[in-house]
Amino acid sequence: MTHSLTDDELKEIYTFALGLSRRAGKILLDGIEKRTGEQGGWEADEQVEKMNAVDIVTQTDLDVEAFVKDEIVKRYPSHKFIGEETYSAGSSKEYLITDEPTWCVDPLDGTVNYTHLFPMFCVSIAFILNGNPVVGAIYQPILDTTYSALTGSGAWQNDNHPMKPRQALPFINSPKAPLPAKAPKGCIFSCEWGKDRRDTEGGNMWKKVNSFVNMAAEIGGRGGKGGMVHGVRCLGSATLDLAYVASGAFDIWWEGGCWEWDVAAGICILREAGGLITTANPPANWDTDPIPNVKLGSRLYLAIRPAGDSQGETGRQAQERVVRETWRRVEGLDYSRPRA
């Protein structure tokens, strides 16, 4: 059954989601202050210092999700809610997103960064209608920066910020910057090592490493697969990887293993900015098979930044070219949904 909401209803949901991401981020910052305290302006709270950093994070994670869920349920009692923590605690590991109006939330993406006080962590809030993320709001508390979008109304950095100017995504926008003619050469390639570290030939870690090396090696290297990317970046947050692809800072993001709450908001923002997202795993014929729409619950993602037209090639054609040039160099990853 298809559900529909009016433009005004969607606009209200967008504004609510954006504000909620900032309020949730404030709780994450409070969690950090408990750990750093004050000394030269900061001093440690002895009681808290005795706690384990991982406990604090787990508790903050739960607290933020409870807060976000509570706010959503109060405001939109008829909507469904899927969050990382509630999903993990639930009995089903199925893909739970239906056509119904559904909120999909990661209260803390980049947990390892949060534990270590590295600023690349965020709150991620998406609103999904008929299976498509139509609202996305991402907030980086330490940098006090949002990335957000409402489908059809543009993608923005720092929309509704009281002090900072709102900037359209991608940053280079009129016209958008074309993709490099010899991509992946000239591109920033974003990727993650992830949690699967089994040292097994054919395991995910090795497939990732082989793919990274193909993308990075000199042209002509790796039996012709060398892509000589401009840079390889690993941030430790799938959500922020997508935000930086939407902004144009990263050209290519390739990843397997993350979940719908990690990517739902980012996918909405990326698409609204003009980016392309499909599957990480190359099809049988990487150069001719159709480029499928990404499946939100697939755990396999390849994102290409928004791209402008250039002589003889539209932005979309260039994005598809870069998808194929990436597929040519990467190995298919083995991630599926765990059995119930």
Question: How much is the CA Rg of the chain, to the nearest whole Å?
Answer: 20
34 binds a copy of itself (CB under 8 A): no
Q: Which of 16, 87, 156, 254 is close enough to bind a copy of itself by CB under 8 A?
A: 156
Contacts 24+ apart (CB under 8 A), 183-186: 183/251, 183/252, 183/318, 183/321, 183/322, 183/325, 184/215, 184/227, 184/228, 184/229, 184/251, 184/252, 184/322, 184/325, 184/326, 184/329, 185/219, 185/227, 185/228, 185/229, 185/230, 186/229, 186/230, 186/251
Give, as ranges, the residues between 261 and 290 that touch a copy of itself (CB under 8 A): none
Q: Which two tokens stand for residue 224?
A: 């012709």
**Which amino acid would we find at residue 57?**
V
Residues 6+ apart with CB under 8 A from 332: 207, 280, 281, 282
Q: What are the C-alpha distances in Å from 275 to residues 230, 267, 339? A: 19, 9, 32
Q: Which two tokens stand for residue 3?
A: 């559900």
Query: What is the strand order of the sheet 188-190 is part of?
Result: 188-190, 252-256, 300-304, 276-278
Q: Which of 14, 139, 250, 259 is close enough to bind a copy of itself by CB under 8 A?
A: 250
Residues in the chain, how many?
340
Q: Which of 11, 118, 161, 286 is close enough to bind a copy of itself by CB under 8 A?
A: 118
188 binds a copy of itself (CB under 8 A): yes
Structure letter (DSSP) for residue 123: E
| Helix, strand, or coil (residue 256) | strand
Binding track over 207-236 against a copy of itself, x by CB under 8 A: --x--xx--xxx-xxx---x-x-xxxxxxx
Give, as ranges, the residues between 301 and 320 that touch a copy of itself (CB under 8 A): none
CB of 191 to a copy of itself, least distance (A): 9
168 binds a copy of itself (CB under 8 A): yes
37 binds a copy of itself (CB under 8 A): yes
Choose between 37 and 90: whose C-beta lies nearer to a copy of itself. Answer: 37
175 binds a copy of itself (CB under 8 A): yes
Is there a binding annotation on residue 70? Answer: no
Q: Which of 193, 285, 287, 289 is close enough to bind a copy of itself by CB under 8 A?
A: 193
Choose between 41 and 290: whose C-beta lies nearer to a copy of itself. Answer: 41
Is there a binding annotation on residue 94? Answer: no
> Which of these segments, 4-12, 80-88, 163-171, 324-332, binds a copy of itself (CB under 8 A)?
163-171
Strand pairing class (122-129; 167-168)? unpaired
Separation of CA 36 from chain center: 28
Is there a binding annotation on residue 262? Answer: yes
DSSP 320-337: HHHHHHHHTT-PPP---P
Distance CA 154, CA 18 (A): 14
Q: What residue has token string 């994070």?
A: 57
Task: Provide the terminal-to-terminal Cα distance of the chain, rounded to the nearest Å.
Answer: 26
Q: Which of 173, 286, 310, 334 is close enough to bind a copy of itself by CB under 8 A?
A: 173
Is there a binding annotation on residue 84? Answer: yes
Q: Which of 3, 75, 93, 166 is close enough to bind a copy of itself by CB under 8 A?
A: 166
Is there a binding annotation on residue 159? Answer: no
CB of 195 to a copy of itself, least distance (A): 9
15 binds a copy of itself (CB under 8 A): no
Choose between 193 and 289: whose C-beta lies nearer to a copy of itself. Answer: 193
Choose between 131 and 178: whose C-beta lies nearer to a copy of itself. Answer: 178
167 binds a copy of itself (CB under 8 A): yes
The residues of the shown chain that bind a copy of itself, judged by CB under 8 A, are 35-37, 39-44, 49, 53, 112-113, 115-119, 143, 154, 156, 165-168, 171-175, 177, 188, 193, 197-199, 205, 209, 212-213, 216-218, 220-222, 226, 228, 230-236, 244, 247-251
Write out the binding residues.
84, 106, 108-109, 262
